[in-house]
Structure 1
């Protein structure tokens, strides 16, 4: 449906906007980092120049307070000075209590040289310096910003999604219970009229036959009302033989399907395999899947149901030879309102997912599908003890 195409486009737009914001942030942070790095290099060069003047014997009688101030004010940039043999002569802004300076600084020197760092040469000595803590933190700022934005968006999305699902659930439950309530009154009236008609024409076999058929359809309406009434309440799950329950669904749907559609279901006389389920709701799910399969085949094809058993679960695969579903729509088909048919509200699979996953603690999903060849829906349910 168009609503889901627009939703997908909005996700792409929002993702693109997020990437653009991140790229701008990275670009600007890199710009600031370069400016700060250049400023720190200038400070180190001034530090070296001031140190040379302080150590110059010819300037011992001059006022060197400015040079000493420059040296003292460097409290953030780690600096160390070595001779031509890499013996450490001086260091500042490193941790206190370094016992073996050569053993401590030699790995640092090798690492800096390997990264392409060129020390400042002054009076035969080599001056090494590292980035300040502020500069290192600034380089990590885009990553921290990304994590914070992602966390904020994630929490916001989770909160809004939870609230939206809660609101949808309330709407679902309200509509379902109101539908069941509205159906109850006319159904009761129809049952009473049928019984009255039966009593009035009990000698007319043709009328009685029609009354029986009408009563069958009314029973179906009663089942539908019962299903709707169970939406929103916790249904009772009983151990049920899955083969006999599937056979009931097959018998009902095959009578209403084209004779050119083949139904291949497990043998109902197979060794009983019991699954914890609520029969009216489970039958609703299977009927939805079978009805969708029939619509996808346009009256010609086959529907096969396979049942496999695992240690604690039972897998039910519903396979049709219909039009298939694009892989991009595997999850979308379960969203309320999604439909590819000209008629219908697109609620069948959404209800099926709710019934299986929320009421039966199971799982329903598109196992595989190929356009033009068919689709396999898979249901996983808990096996009865």
Structure 2
């Protein structure tokens, strides 16, 4: 399993554990709330029974016990009504000083919805006890949601802090490694350039040496790219079509002849702010990915256009295509469909375009067995 797949799996496991904990809290709290609601129902049934006994007035001793039961309810809001919903008695309600009748009428409606009323029946009358949930039961019902919210908040903060720290460490490592690589390449590249110039003075056939010089200069461009990682480049206004053609020209001679390159560039030049060495890195990465997707044979079309003040670069291959689910994940570090590879090419391309050029790069379209189109959008400069 690749590192990218492991990271995705770890995220899913983390989310699944969090969901399982949240569901557990809800189930346990619902069970506790249900048990407490049953207990309060039993208390109110006893309270209603005490009301009936008080009405029947069965002796002084029993009346004394009945009054104790009635006075024991200090938390559950309750209203005693007759058959016409006239309020006869209420308990544990904060009655306002003004318009108390309307308040009690509204409370009767609310309590009817809260719980099934308890019916008190006798030969002479029929009454109803409407009751609600105690403040303790209400808090118990809301508590798991508050707890889950707090837990989710702390988990998110911890996860983001860990992710931020990890990304910062990785970025620092990559920047240091890149700059050290550029530094180490500097000396041998300079030496190789000197040797090429020396060999030119010793032979009349310089065509081979010229190609060798191009490859050495290419190494110098690569070293320059690595040296720019971690720093803020200063893009300059460039003609996008020309920059794209120069980037492809080097690869075109070094890629299989079975790969055909086609260009669709408008007659009027289009300009954008570009860091040449970094921009060419993006074009080359996309071109190499296209060649890999076509397995070394096929057609790559480079199209340049403008839309809504943006310069659009479309690179279309005739390769195996991508499922829609991969349109975003292909830019994730470590993602690769090849047997060999680090999965960093498209991730670097995205960072270069978005962070250094303030543009966009995305999969415009793809069809399995037909091909894929990547699009780069850069802000157009008017000259």
Structure 1 portions without partners, runs of 5+: none
TM-score, L = length of structure 2: 0.89
CA-CA distance at 1:134 after TM superposition: 1.9
C-alpha separation in 2, matches of 1:147 and 1:159:
18
Which residue of structure 2 aligns with residue 71 of structure 1?
Answer: 70
Residues 286/167 of structure 1: CA separation in 2 closer, same or farther (3 Å cut): same
Q: CA deviation at 1:225?
A: 0.7
- Return the alpha-carbon distance in structure 2 between the equivalents of residues 257 and 173 of structure 1: 30
1:254 is aligned to 252
Deviation at 1:115, TM superposition (A): 7.1
| Unpaired runs of at least 5, structure 2 | none
Structure 1 pair 337/94, CA: closer, same or farther in 2 (3 Å)?
same
Which of 208-217 and 291-300 deviates more? 208-217
Greater Cα offset, 344-353 or 306-315: 306-315
- Note the C-alpha offset of 1:32: 0.8
Secondary structure in 2 aligned to 1:344? coil
Deviates more, 1:72-81 or 1:274-283: 72-81
Aligned-partner Cα distance in 1 for 2:53–2:158 = 59
Contact map agreement 2:79 2:108 (CA 8 A) in 1 = no
Helix, strand or coil at the partner of 1:383: strand
Change (3 A) 1:342 1:10: closer
* Number of equivalences: 379
Does the alignment pair 1:227 with 2:256? no
Residues 243 and 266, structure 1, Cα contact 8 Å, conserved in 2: no
In the other structure, the counterpart of 2:84 is 85
Instruction: State the match for 1:156 in structure 2.
Output: 158
Alignment CA distance shift 1:95-1:313 (3 Å): farther
Q: Distance in 2 between matches of 1:254 and 1:105?
A: 86
1:303: how far off?
A: 1.2
Contact 2:313–2:376 (Cα < 8 Å) also in 1: yes
Contact 1:120 1:128 in 2 (8 A): no
Distance 2:31 2:192 in 1: 80
Cα pair distance change 1:355/1:39, threshold 3 Å? same
Which is worse superposed, 298-307 or 33-42?
A: 298-307
Deviates more, 1:7-16 or 1:103-112: 103-112
Match of 1:272 in 2: 269
Change (3 A) 1:63 1:295: closer
In the TM superposition, what are the counterparts of 1:335-346 in structure 2 within 5 Å? 335-346=332-343
Q: How does 1:9-24 map to 2 (within 5 A)?
A: 9-24=9-24
Quick one: which of 262, 280, 283 aligns to 1:283? 280
Q: CA RMSD in A?
A: 2.5
Residue 350 of structure 1: CA displacement? 1.9
Q: Give SS of 2:313's match.
A: strand
Report deviation, 1:195: 2.1
Answer whether contact 1:265 1:306 (CA < 8 A) is retained: yes
> In 1, distance between residues paired with 2:340 and 2:180?
23
Give deviations 1:314-336, integer Å, cap 9, x for gaps. 33222111112233333332233
Q: CA deviation at 1:238?
A: 1.4
